[in-house]
Amino acid sequence: MKAKGFSAEAEIDSLTSQQGVLEANALRVNAALRANQLKINKSTIKAPYAGTVSQRFVSLGDVVGMGTPTLTLLAEQDKEVFIGIPSAQLAKINELNTPEIRVGDNLYPVKLLNPALGLI
C-alpha cells in the first residue's frame, strides 16, 4: 500500500481521530438534549386534578416563580362549596333528610360538613 501512496497507519489514525470527535459530539448533543428536557420539565405547569381553567393570571412567555398564581382551575369531580348559613335557618337545614342547593336551574345534593356551625 505504501507504494501506491496509501499509509494504513495514517488512515487508521485519521479514522480513530474522527471516531473520537464523533463520540464527543454525540455526548455533547445528548447533554444538550437532557438540559433542554430539564428546562421543559421545569417550565411546565401541571394541574393537580382534572378541571376547567376559569381565569388566567399570566400570559404565554411570562416568567413566574414558585407559588405565583397562574390560573384558577375548577374541579370536574368532587366539587366543593363552603356556604355560611344564618343561625336562624340552621335548624331548618338540620331537619332535612337530603339537603340540596340550587345553582341556576340545577339542584345538587349537599353534605353538611359541620351542621353545628351551619357550614354546607
**Is residue 15 included in any domain, yes or no?**
yes
Residues 40 and 53 in one domain: no
One digit per residue, pLDDT tens: the chain, 120 residues? 555 656 688 888 889 999 999 999 999 999 999 999 999 888 888 888 888 999 999 998 888 888 889 999 988 887 777 787 787 887 788 788 888 888 899 998 888 776 665 455
Statement: the pTM of the whole predicted model exceeds 0.75: no
> Domains in the chain: how many in total?
3
**Is residue 14 included in any domain, yes or no?**
yes
**Is residue 119 included in any domain, yes or no?**
no
Question: Which range of residues forms the domain containing residue 59?
Answer: 48-76
Q: With b meaning 16 or more CB within 10 Å and e meaning fewer, what string describes 83-119? A: eebeeeebeeeeeeeebeeeeeeeeeeeebeeeeebe
